Amino acid sequence: MTEIKFCGLKTGRDVAAAVQAGARWTGYVIFPASPRHVTPALAGELAHLAQGTETVAVMVDPDDALLAQIRDAMRPDWIQLHGSEDPRRVVQARAYARQGIIKSVPVADASDLEAARAYDRVADMLLFDAKPPRGASRPGGWGETYDYGLLKNLNLSVPWLLSGGLDASNVAAAVAASGAKAVDVSSGIESSPGIKDAARIQAFADALAQPAPGLT
Ligand SMILES: O=C(O)c1ccccc1NCC(=O)[C@H](O)[C@H](O)COP(=O)(O)O
Protein backbone atom coordinates (compact mmCIF):
# COMPACT_ATOMS: atom_id res chain seq x y z
CA MET A 1 0.00 0.00 0.00
CA THR A 2 1.30 3.47 -0.91
CA GLU A 3 1.25 5.80 2.08
CA ILE A 4 -0.08 9.34 1.61
CA LYS A 5 0.83 12.72 3.07
CA PHE A 6 -1.84 15.32 2.37
CA CYS A 7 -0.16 18.70 2.73
CA GLY A 8 -1.28 22.28 3.21
CA LEU A 9 -4.42 21.55 5.24
CA LYS A 10 -6.04 24.71 6.61
CA THR A 11 -9.49 23.81 7.94
CA GLY A 12 -11.16 21.15 10.04
CA ARG A 13 -12.97 20.07 6.90
CA ASP A 14 -9.64 19.52 5.11
CA VAL A 15 -8.39 17.42 8.00
CA ALA A 16 -11.57 15.34 8.12
CA ALA A 17 -11.32 14.63 4.39
CA ALA A 18 -7.66 13.62 4.70
CA VAL A 19 -8.37 11.32 7.63
CA GLN A 20 -11.34 9.80 5.79
CA ALA A 21 -9.13 9.15 2.73
CA GLY A 22 -6.63 7.23 4.85
CA ALA A 23 -3.81 9.73 5.28
CA ARG A 24 -0.76 8.50 7.09
CA TRP A 25 0.59 12.04 7.46
CA THR A 26 -1.22 15.40 7.55
CA GLY A 27 0.84 18.50 6.76
CA TYR A 28 0.43 22.10 7.93
CA VAL A 29 2.43 24.87 6.25
CA ILE A 30 3.78 27.57 8.57
CA PHE A 31 5.09 30.10 6.05
CA PRO A 32 3.29 33.45 5.69
CA ALA A 33 4.04 33.81 1.95
CA SER A 34 2.10 30.61 1.23
CA PRO A 35 -1.63 30.50 0.37
CA ARG A 36 -1.63 27.48 2.74
CA HIS A 37 -0.13 29.30 5.72
CA VAL A 38 -1.57 28.58 9.14
CA THR A 39 -0.45 30.11 12.42
CA PRO A 40 1.20 27.83 14.97
CA ALA A 41 -1.95 28.05 17.09
CA LEU A 42 -4.20 26.96 14.22
CA ALA A 43 -1.74 24.21 13.27
CA GLY A 44 -2.09 22.97 16.85
CA GLU A 45 -5.89 22.92 16.64
CA LEU A 46 -5.88 21.12 13.30
CA ALA A 47 -3.27 18.59 14.43
CA HIS A 48 -5.49 17.81 17.40
CA LEU A 49 -8.30 16.91 14.97
CA ALA A 50 -6.08 14.72 12.81
CA GLN A 51 -6.56 11.62 14.92
CA GLY A 52 -4.78 8.54 13.64
CA THR A 53 -2.35 10.48 11.44
CA GLU A 54 1.21 11.60 12.00
CA THR A 55 1.29 15.39 11.97
CA VAL A 56 3.87 17.37 10.02
CA ALA A 57 4.82 21.03 10.51
CA VAL A 58 6.17 22.29 7.18
CA MET A 59 8.64 25.13 7.71
CA VAL A 60 11.19 27.11 5.70
CA ASP A 61 14.52 27.93 7.38
CA PRO A 62 12.85 28.37 10.78
CA ASP A 63 14.86 29.98 13.59
CA ASP A 64 14.94 28.47 17.07
CA ALA A 65 12.17 30.78 18.31
CA LEU A 66 9.74 29.62 15.62
CA LEU A 67 10.69 25.98 16.17
CA ALA A 68 9.99 26.39 19.89
CA GLN A 69 6.68 28.08 19.11
CA ILE A 70 5.56 25.23 16.86
CA ARG A 71 6.74 22.62 19.35
CA ASP A 72 4.72 24.24 22.14
CA ALA A 73 1.59 24.97 20.06
CA MET A 74 1.41 21.83 17.95
CA ARG A 75 3.75 19.15 19.28
CA PRO A 76 4.31 17.87 15.71
CA ASP A 77 5.31 14.29 15.09
CA TRP A 78 7.48 15.52 12.24
CA ILE A 79 9.03 18.77 11.14
CA GLN A 80 9.48 19.09 7.38
CA LEU A 81 12.33 21.47 6.57
CA HIS A 82 11.59 22.91 3.14
CA GLY A 83 14.23 25.62 2.87
CA SER A 84 18.00 25.64 2.49
CA GLU A 85 18.75 24.03 5.86
CA ASP A 86 22.15 22.31 5.89
CA PRO A 87 22.73 18.92 7.58
CA ARG A 88 23.89 20.61 10.81
CA ARG A 89 20.63 22.57 11.05
CA VAL A 90 18.63 19.40 10.41
CA VAL A 91 20.29 17.80 13.42
CA GLN A 92 19.54 20.86 15.58
CA ALA A 93 15.87 20.98 14.53
CA ARG A 94 15.34 17.36 15.48
CA ALA A 95 14.94 18.32 19.15
CA TYR A 96 11.66 20.08 18.33
CA ALA A 97 9.82 17.13 16.74
CA ARG A 98 8.44 14.03 18.42
CA GLN A 99 9.49 11.59 15.69
CA GLY A 100 12.00 13.35 13.48
CA ILE A 101 12.82 15.51 10.49
CA ILE A 102 11.68 15.24 6.90
CA LYS A 103 14.11 17.14 4.65
CA SER A 104 12.91 18.28 1.25
CA VAL A 105 15.24 17.94 -1.73
CA PRO A 106 14.37 19.93 -4.90
CA VAL A 107 14.76 17.90 -8.08
CA ALA A 108 14.99 18.90 -11.72
CA ASP A 109 17.56 16.44 -13.04
CA ALA A 110 19.79 13.57 -11.92
CA SER A 111 22.52 15.87 -10.58
CA ASP A 112 20.10 17.12 -7.89
CA LEU A 113 19.88 13.67 -6.36
CA GLU A 114 23.49 13.88 -5.19
CA ALA A 115 22.40 16.59 -2.73
CA ALA A 116 20.18 14.02 -1.05
CA ARG A 117 23.19 11.96 0.00
CA ALA A 118 24.28 14.68 2.45
CA TYR A 119 21.00 14.20 4.35
CA ASP A 120 20.89 10.40 4.29
CA ARG A 121 20.94 9.20 7.93
CA VAL A 122 20.94 12.89 9.04
CA ALA A 123 17.28 13.45 8.30
CA ASP A 124 14.83 10.71 9.26
CA MET A 125 13.01 10.91 5.93
CA LEU A 126 13.53 12.71 2.64
CA LEU A 127 10.92 14.32 0.41
CA PHE A 128 11.77 14.72 -3.26
CA ASP A 129 9.92 17.74 -4.63
CA ALA A 130 10.00 19.68 -7.90
CA LYS A 131 12.23 22.73 -8.04
CA PRO A 132 10.05 25.85 -7.72
CA PRO A 133 9.72 28.19 -10.71
CA ARG A 134 12.47 30.84 -11.03
CA GLY A 135 11.82 33.79 -8.68
CA ALA A 136 9.11 31.90 -6.78
CA SER A 137 7.86 33.37 -3.51
CA ARG A 138 7.85 30.00 -1.78
CA PRO A 139 9.84 26.78 -2.22
CA GLY A 140 6.96 24.30 -2.54
CA GLY A 141 3.36 23.73 -3.47
CA TRP A 142 3.57 24.75 -7.14
CA GLY A 143 2.20 21.65 -8.83
CA GLU A 144 5.39 21.38 -10.90
CA THR A 145 6.34 17.95 -12.25
CA TYR A 146 9.69 16.38 -13.16
CA ASP A 147 10.94 13.02 -14.38
CA TYR A 148 9.81 10.82 -11.48
CA GLY A 149 11.79 7.94 -12.98
CA LEU A 150 14.98 9.66 -11.76
CA LEU A 151 14.14 8.30 -8.31
CA LYS A 152 13.99 4.67 -9.40
CA ASN A 153 16.64 2.52 -7.66
CA LEU A 154 17.74 5.26 -5.28
CA ASN A 155 19.95 3.66 -2.69
CA LEU A 156 19.16 5.51 0.53
CA SER A 157 19.17 4.39 4.15
CA VAL A 158 16.13 6.44 5.12
CA PRO A 159 12.55 6.28 3.77
CA TRP A 160 11.48 8.90 1.22
CA LEU A 161 8.35 10.45 -0.21
CA LEU A 162 7.64 11.31 -3.84
CA SER A 163 6.25 14.82 -4.25
CA GLY A 164 5.74 17.54 -6.85
CA GLY A 165 2.84 17.92 -9.27
CA LEU A 166 0.98 14.79 -8.25
CA ASP A 167 -2.76 14.45 -8.67
CA ALA A 168 -5.34 11.70 -9.13
CA SER A 169 -4.58 11.48 -12.86
CA ASN A 170 -0.83 10.87 -12.60
CA VAL A 171 -0.05 9.49 -9.15
CA ALA A 172 -0.32 5.79 -10.00
CA ALA A 173 2.01 6.15 -12.98
CA ALA A 174 4.39 8.31 -10.91
CA VAL A 175 4.58 5.61 -8.25
CA ALA A 176 5.23 2.96 -10.89
CA ALA A 177 7.98 5.09 -12.50
CA SER A 178 9.73 6.04 -9.26
CA GLY A 179 9.19 3.02 -7.05
CA ALA A 180 7.90 5.32 -4.29
CA LYS A 181 6.33 3.75 -1.21
CA ALA A 182 4.94 7.09 -0.02
CA VAL A 183 3.64 10.21 -1.76
CA ASP A 184 2.92 13.82 -0.86
CA VAL A 185 0.39 16.13 -2.52
CA SER A 186 -0.88 19.65 -2.11
CA SER A 187 -2.07 21.58 -5.18
CA GLY A 188 -3.32 18.42 -6.90
CA ILE A 189 -6.07 18.16 -4.27
CA GLU A 190 -7.15 21.82 -4.49
CA SER A 191 -9.79 23.73 -6.47
CA SER A 192 -7.60 26.87 -6.29
CA PRO A 193 -4.36 27.70 -4.42
CA GLY A 194 -4.89 27.02 -0.72
CA ILE A 195 -8.45 25.70 -1.11
CA LYS A 196 -8.61 21.95 -0.58
CA ASP A 197 -11.32 19.90 -2.27
CA ALA A 198 -12.63 16.86 -0.38
CA ALA A 199 -13.62 15.07 -3.61
CA ARG A 200 -10.09 15.51 -5.03
CA ILE A 201 -8.58 14.25 -1.78
CA GLN A 202 -10.65 11.07 -1.99
CA ALA A 203 -9.98 10.69 -5.73
CA PHE A 204 -6.24 10.88 -5.05
CA ALA A 205 -6.45 8.07 -2.50
CA ASP A 206 -8.70 6.05 -4.81
CA ALA A 207 -6.20 6.41 -7.68
CA LEU A 208 -3.59 4.67 -5.54
CA ALA A 209 -5.95 1.80 -4.92
CA GLN A 210 -6.17 1.17 -8.70
CA PRO A 211 -3.51 -0.59 -10.80
CA ALA A 212 -1.18 1.91 -12.55
CA PRO A 213 -2.05 2.67 -16.20
CA GLY A 214 -0.53 0.01 -18.42
CA LEU A 215 -0.15 -2.44 -15.55
CA THR A 216 -2.55 -5.22 -14.64
O1 LIG B 1 2.67 24.30 -0.20
C2 LIG B 1 3.21 25.39 0.07
O3 LIG B 1 2.65 26.47 -0.14
C4 LIG B 1 4.57 25.39 0.68
C5 LIG B 1 5.11 26.61 1.08
C6 LIG B 1 6.36 26.65 1.64
C7 LIG B 1 7.08 25.49 1.81
C8 LIG B 1 6.56 24.26 1.43
C9 LIG B 1 5.31 24.21 0.86
N10 LIG B 1 4.77 22.98 0.46
C11 LIG B 1 5.47 21.77 0.70
C12 LIG B 1 4.86 20.49 0.34
O13 LIG B 1 5.13 19.50 1.01
C14 LIG B 1 4.04 20.32 -0.89
O15 LIG B 1 3.11 19.32 -0.66
C16 LIG B 1 4.99 19.93 -2.01
O17 LIG B 1 5.75 21.05 -2.37
C18 LIG B 1 4.23 19.45 -3.27
O19 LIG B 1 3.36 20.42 -3.72
P20 LIG B 1 2.46 20.16 -5.01
O21 LIG B 1 3.35 20.08 -6.19
O22 LIG B 1 1.57 21.36 -5.06
O23 LIG B 1 1.69 18.89 -4.78
Question: Would 18 be classed as within a structural domain?
Answer: yes
Full residue range of the structural domain in which residue 82 is found: 3-209
Question: Would 140 be classed as within a structural domain?
Answer: yes
pLDDT tens digits along 164-204: 999 999 999 999 999 999 999 999 999 999 999 999 999 99
Which atom number of ligand 1 is nearest to the Cα of residue 194? Answer: 3
Residue 64, amino acid: D
Dist CA 181 CA 171 (whole Å): 12
Taking the C-alpha atoms of 170, 175, 178 and 182 in order, what is their torsion angle to the nearest 10 degrees?
120
Q: What is the ipTM metric for this complex?
A: 0.98
Is 132 in contact with 169 (CB distance < 8 Å)? Answer: no
Task: Please work out whether the CB of residue 129 comes within 6 Å of at least one atom of ligand 1.
Answer: yes
| pLDDT of 153 | 87
3-state secondary structure 150-177: HHCCCCCCCCEEECCCCCCCCHHHHHHH
Q: What's the whole-model pTM score? A: 0.96
pLDDT tens digits along 83-108: 999 999 999 999 999 999 999 999 99
Helix (H, G, I), strand (E, B) or coil at 58: strand
Tell me the CA end-to-end span of the chain in Å, nearest whole number. Answer: 16
Number of structural domains in the chain: 1
Task: Please work out whether the CB of residue 196 comes within 6 Å of at least one atom of ligand 1.
Answer: no
Question: Would 66 be classed as within a structural domain?
Answer: yes
User: In whole angstroms, how far apart are CA 189 and each of 74, 163, 177, 192?
Assistant: 24, 13, 21, 9
91 CA → ligand 1 middle, Å? 22
Question: Would 216 be classed as within a structural domain?
Answer: no
pLDDT tens digits along 24-78: 999 999 999 999 999 999 999 999 999 999 999 999 999 999 999 999 999 999 9
Domain of residue 11, CATH code: 3.20.20.70
Residue 184, beta-bridge partner list? 5
Task: Please work out whether the CB of residue 82 comes within 6 Å of at least one atom of ligand 1.
Answer: yes
- The fraction of the chain above a pLDDT of 70, given in percent, is 97
Write phi, then psi, for 116 (nearest 5 degrees).
Answer: -65, -30
Question: Would 144 be classed as within a structural domain?
Answer: yes
Which atom number of ligand 1 is nearest to the Cα of residue 34? Answer: 3
Question: Would 11 be classed as within a structural domain?
Answer: yes
